[in-house]
């Protein structure tokens, strides 16, 4: 039996791949491919919260990763038995009846509405508000499993927005599919909805699918929301599948192109944050903190302990998501790494607008200086912030540069920095943002605990968990408990490896595969109790700032 599996992880800025021995967990090869168009900022407008990605970025990344894995370990690559993929979500795209994104047609090649609407795109705030009104007015609240609140980051808000704004596309669209379903279909050569096996994680967490009401909301719901969505909803299959199950086998075309067996199994697609939690070894009582561009804090619970309770103000509560045998909870923050990226972009203003236009040095030197400033900015801010002695009256911040996801979701909230004086420096503001992100994490964990979801252990994954000791120590100090860091450099891809190993027949359950394949803890951060007391006083300011901000936002007329 072939003994290797591939885990593919499609993140916000790039895709990654791992080639792993399914028996030992030993890594044979790894690869990363950046999205070229996304990297150039194409099809995006941050001012309008519009973030779109072209499917060619995904297709080219898949090709680059598979070629690189084959180059690094040709013998192991030839022994691949299964592939699984995780992606951002909700990241849907309108497709034709052959499951082909409309942006791959020449007439829509540069139309952002024909592309994948990235998870953090908030252009559908009005449609989300309409969905929430419809849910409140009906006898059945179809958003009950997303905290009684449907976000503009959700599937149906985005789909309704693009077909409403762009009737040309709605006339050509057969359905809308998630990114994770698209990549799985690409690997398996699925060219019709009848050949698709949509992922349960995305459908139930982001698209209001539930067995309780027999699938997606009924036809009349979509008629009231946006008539153009009715046919799109009706074309979706009733059933969906957990990510340990088979989507199909690899297509002859893909097998031939990369030298793989046509018997290679392709697992059902998964959400990246869910895969990261699996790769981090999530289990009941152990929360996974996925610290990337956003933050997704994942927990699981035995269904018999939860009973019929539905927890308000979480981003997703789904039977069988994350780990098929458990109830999965998705919470988090719409901006985590993006919070620090915003500050870096702000501080790069003199570099981009003065240094890069200067004739004092040559063009090559200007570009080298710019690159050095951008690469070293956050590391230097971190070093200086570590030396700051935090006080009760130090500047503090709120974290909602892209709205608040959990608890009490509200996409309209904006971030703030308070307590500024003439002595405030850039490192003080950076430290305030780091603290705000930790405060947001505390609010989430406290909310789950108050609703009976016990959290005994915390394990962090993602680039920030490995690169920023300042952030990790702040988390431990604010939470007043130990925070572990997984040894995996690519926990999401490792989660997909685990799903591929189960779908490939190597293990009988996700839990069994986790025991064999999950990397150990690499480092632990212990809380400094004397600092915890100070931070709890400052946390009260954070909570007061939340109330203040909410009142101001609610006074604003809704205009978007």
DSSP string, 265-303: EEEPPEEHHHHHHHHTT-BTTEEEEEESSSEEEEEEE-H
- The torsion angles phi and psi of 239, rounded to 5 degrees, stand at -90, 155
Q: 533-542: long-range contacts (C-beta < 8 A, 24 or more apart)?
A: 534/390, 534/391, 534/392, 535/390, 535/435, 535/438, 535/477, 535/478, 537/392, 538/390, 538/392, 538/394, 538/396, 538/435, 538/439, 539/439, 539/442, 539/478, 541/396, 541/418, 542/396, 542/398, 542/436, 542/439
pLDDT recorded at residue 557? 55
Residue matched to tokens 């949509």: 198
Residue bearing tokens 């790769």: 279
Cβ atoms 15, 58 nearer than 8 A? yes
User: Cα(272)–Cα(515) distance, rounded to whole angstroms?
Assistant: 20
Ordered structural domains, the chain, with CATH: 4-280+489-521 (3.30.420.40), 337-487+528-555 (3.30.420.40)
Give pLDDT, residue 558.
46
Look at the alpha carbons of 120, 125, 130, 134 in this order and tell me if their dihedral is positive or negative: positive
Instruction: Output the CA torsion sign for 364, 365, 371, 374.
Output: negative
C-alpha 189/C-alpha 248 separation (Å) is 9
Residue in 549, 298, 541 with CA at minimum distance from that of residue 439: 541
CA distance 495 to 518: 8
What pLDDT, on the 0 to 100 scale, is given for residue 288? 98
Longest dimension (CA), the chain: 70
Q: Are 303 and 453 contacting, i.e. CB atoms less than 8 angstroms apart?
A: no
- Three-state DSSP state, 417: strand
Q: Whose structure tokens read 């003199």?
A: 350
| Rg of the chain in Å (alpha carbons) | 23
Cβ atoms 559, 419 nearer than 8 A: no
CA distance 295 to 173: 32
Residue by residue, pLDDT tens for the chain (560 residues) are 689 999 999 999 999 999 999 999 999 999 999 999 999 999 999 999 999 999 999 999 999 999 999 999 999 999 999 999 999 999 999 999 999 999 999 999 999 999 999 999 999 999 999 999 999 998 899 999 998 999 999 999 999 999 999 999 999 999 999 999 999 999 999 999 999 999 999 999 999 999 999 999 999 999 999 999 999 999 999 999 999 999 999 999 999 999 999 999 999 999 999 999 999 999 999 999 999 889 999 999 999 999 999 998 898 999 999 999 999 999 999 999 999 999 999 999 999 999 999 999 999 999 999 999 999 999 999 999 999 999 999 999 999 998 898 888 888 888 999 999 999 999 999 999 999 999 999 999 999 999 999 999 999 999 999 999 999 999 999 999 999 999 999 999 999 999 999 999 999 999 999 999 999 999 999 999 899 999 999 999 999 999 998 888 877 554 44
Work out the angle between the directed axes of helices 426-450 and 469-479 (0-180°, nearest 10). 40
């Amino acid at each position: 039996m072939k003994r290797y599996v591939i885990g593919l992880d499609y993140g916000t800025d790039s895709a990654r791949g791992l080639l792993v021995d399914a028996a030992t967990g030993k890594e044979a090869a790894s690869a990363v491919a950046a999205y070229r168009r996304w990297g150039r900022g194409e099809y995006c407008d941050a001012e309008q919260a519009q973030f779109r990605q072209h499917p060619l970025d995904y297709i080219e990344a898949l090709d680059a990763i598979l070629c690189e894995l084959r180059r690094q370990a040709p013998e192991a690559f030839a022994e691949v038995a299964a592939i699984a993929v995780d992606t951002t979500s909700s990241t849907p795209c309108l497709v034709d009846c052959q499951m082909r994104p409309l942006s791959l047609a020449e007439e829509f090649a540069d139309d952002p509405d024909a592309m994948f609407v990235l998870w953090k795109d908030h252009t559908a705030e009005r449609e989300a508000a309409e969905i929430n009104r419809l849910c409140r007015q009906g006898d059945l609240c179809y958003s009950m499993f997303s905290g009684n609140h449907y976000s503009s980051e959700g599937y149906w808000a985005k789909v309704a927005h693009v077909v409403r704004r762009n009737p040309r596309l709605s006339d050509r669209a057969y359905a809308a599919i998630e990114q994770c379903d698209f990549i799985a279909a690409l690997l398996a050569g699925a060219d019709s909805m009848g050949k698709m096996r949509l992922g349960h994680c995305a459908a139930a967490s982001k698209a209001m699918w539930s067995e309780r009401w027999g699938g997606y909301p009924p036809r009349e719901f979509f008629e009231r929301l946006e008539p153009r969505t009715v046919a799109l909803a009706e074309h979706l299959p009733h059933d969906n599948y957990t990510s340990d199950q088979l989507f199909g086998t690899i297509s002859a075309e893909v097998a031939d192109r990369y030298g793989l067996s046509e018997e290679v199994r392709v697992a059902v697609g998964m959400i990246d944050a869910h895969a990261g939690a699996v790769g981090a070894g999530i289990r009941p009582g152990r929360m996974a903190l996925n610290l990337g561009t956003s933050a997704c804090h994942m927990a699981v619970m035995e269904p018999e302990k939860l009973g019929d309770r539905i927890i308000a103000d979480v981003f997703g509560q789904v039977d069988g998501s994350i780990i098929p045998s458990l109830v999965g909870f998705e919470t988090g923050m719409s901006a985590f790494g993006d919070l620090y990226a915003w500050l870096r972009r702000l501080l790069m203003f003199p570099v981009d607008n003065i240094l890069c236009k200067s004739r004092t040095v040559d063009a090559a030197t200007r570009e080298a200086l710019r690159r050095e400033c951008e690469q070293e900015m956050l590391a230097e801010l971190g070093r200086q912030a570590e030396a700051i002695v935090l006080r009760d009256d130090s500047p503090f911040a709120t974290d909602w540069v892209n709205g608040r996801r959990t608890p009490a979701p509200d996409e309209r909230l904006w971030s703030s920095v308070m307590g500024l004086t003439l002595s405030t420096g850039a490192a003080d503001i950076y430290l305030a943002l780091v603290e705000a992100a930790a405060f947001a994490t505390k609010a989430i964990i406290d909310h789950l605990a108050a609703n009976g979801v016990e959290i005994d252990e915390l394990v962090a994954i993602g680039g920030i968990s490995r690169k920023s000791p300042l952030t990790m120590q702040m988390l431990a100090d604010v939470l007043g408990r130990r925070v572990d860091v997984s040894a995996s450099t690519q926990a999401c891809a490792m989660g997909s490896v685990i799903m591929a190993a189960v779908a490939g027949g190597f293990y009988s359950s996700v839990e069994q595969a986790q025991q064999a394949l999950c990397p150990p803890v690499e480092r632990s951060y212990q809380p400094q109790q004397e600092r915890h007391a100070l931070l709890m006083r400052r946390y009260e300011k954070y909570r007061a700032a939340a109330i203040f901000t909410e009142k101001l936002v609610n006074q604003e007329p809704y205009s978007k």
